[in-house]
Amino acid sequence: MGLDSVMKGDKGGQAMLAVLLVVAVVVPILNLVVPESSPWHVSTYTVTLLGKYLTYALLAVAVDLVWGYLGILSLGHAAFFGLGGYAMGMYLMRQIGDRGVYGHPVLPDFMVFLNWSELPWFWHGFDLFWFAALMAILVPGALAFVFGYLAFRSRVTGVYLSIMTQALTYALMLAFFRNEMGFGGNNGLTDFKDILGFDLKSDATRIGLFLASAGALAFGYLACRWIVTSRLGRVAVAIRDAEARTRFIGYRVDRVKLAIFTFSAMLAGVAGALYVPQVGIINPGEFSPLNSIELVIWVAIGGRATLYGAVIGAILVNYGKTYFTGAFPEAWLFALGALFVIVTLFLPKGIAGLVGMIRTWRRSRSASEPHPEVSP
């Protein structure tokens, strides 16, 4: 069960992890050591942007695990990401302490503004980092477990399941928009000051968060690889391709789905928890149904059922988004839509599939040409 057996045969993943390692070493050096005047300097803004992309990549890997390998097209994974984000946001809110606008020692600003006199029960414990970190994993996991238990046991599949996941994230969005829910309403949670005592504005903290995101992505990737290379992973693919058959062979399809779906939601929660301190805000917009659809598009563009394709897709599309929303803000959605259509029509296996296509094309070309190196 060593690293090599999990990564065996996964050329794309090996390359991706190698690049990730190089980036994780080089970027901090270029930011902290290289002087700002040098063209090689990487700004802290860029470091944070990269860190954000890495959390998106982890989220995409979580989606690919359930969509690519299990055949569950979840259109609600942003909900798990958002819940993880809110758990972290609650911790960061409580770290503000009396440095808020109203200076209340315990209550976050928005609660003072709403004239609340004490902390709601579900905000207790979030002053502790370990508790918040645990909740960032357990809350999305619990929601996925309950949702999955009901859906998979009643054998809801396909489009109906996708619609239900959309409804789930939509319902959460509406709930979190309400001030009475106690999560800051439509403003969400923001104005964070520090994390574990480190100033969130400092370069070192930013680098730390960036490295944590890179580490989480590597860990999440390896964990998913471990699952898909296990027999359980082969059962998952069997369910994706022939669900009834898998059931007749004696597997509890509902439980397999439930276990992998829940794990995937937990990964999404981790991604959300790392995302929030880097972007500095979490609001109900993160639950928007569109977000969940967008991240399925990342995976489709990168290439389903490869895991590393999800990483490529998430990073490329979000790089494109950053560029486009700066250059022509109105055009972004059209560009994304066009990209999706082009990829589905011409690259059904996404960018990851392109590599395979080029390889077979090369091989067939070199096979039809006489080999110069073959000597008599």
Partner 1 sequence: MKAVEQLRESMRKDRQWSFMYSMLDVDLDVSQGVILYLEDVSVSFDGFKAINNLNFYVNAGELRCVIGPNGAGKTTMMDIITGKTRPDTGSAYFGRTIDLLRLSEPEIAALGVGRKFQKPTVFESHSVFENLELAMAGDKRVFPTLFAKLSGEQRDRIHEVLGIIGLQEQTRREAGALSHGQKQWLEIGMLLMQDPHLLLVDEPVAGMTHQEMDRTAELLLSLEGKHSVVVVEHDMDFVRSIAKRVTVLHQGSVLAEGSMDEVQNDPRVVEVYLGE
Query: How far are the Cα atoms of 10, 64, 222, 227, 232 from residue 1, in angstroms, in the given order?
Result: 15, 22, 11, 11, 14
DSSP conformation letters of 18-63: HHHHHHHHHHHHHHHTS-TTSTT---HHHHHHHHHHHHHHHHHHHH
- The stretch near partner 1 (CB under 8 A) out of 86-94, 184-192, 228-236, 267-275 is 228-236
The number of residues that bind partner 1 (CB under 8 A) is 22
- Residue 281's H or E segment, with its range, is strand 281-282
Contact with partner 1 (CB under 8 A) among 58, 256, 276, 297:
256
Binding of residue 241 to partner 1 (CB under 8 A): yes
Contact with partner 1 (CB under 8 A) among 161, 227, 267, 299:
227
Binding of residue 344 to partner 1 (CB under 8 A): no
Within 187-331, residue ranges assigned H as helices are 203-229, 231-241, 243-249, 253-279, 289-302, 308-327
Maximum CA pair distance of the chain?
A: 90
Binding of residue 155 to partner 1 (CB under 8 A): no
Binding of residue 259 to partner 1 (CB under 8 A): yes
Binding of residue 238 to partner 1 (CB under 8 A): yes
Binding of residue 153 to partner 1 (CB under 8 A): no
DSSP conformation letters of 204-235: HHHHHHHHHHHHHHHHHHHHHHHHHHSHHHHH
Residue 236 in contact with residue 228, Cβ under 8 Å? yes
* Of residues 93 and 267, the one with the C-beta less far from partner 1: 267
Please give the structure tokens belonging to residue 61. 């890997």
Binding of residue 99 to partner 1 (CB under 8 A): no
Shortest Cβ distance from residue 224 to partner 1 (Å)?
Answer: 13
Binding of residue 250 to partner 1 (CB under 8 A): yes
Binding of residue 249 to partner 1 (CB under 8 A): yes
* Of residues 173 and 228, the one with the C-beta less far from partner 1: 228
* Of residues 164 and 259, the one with the C-beta less far from partner 1: 259
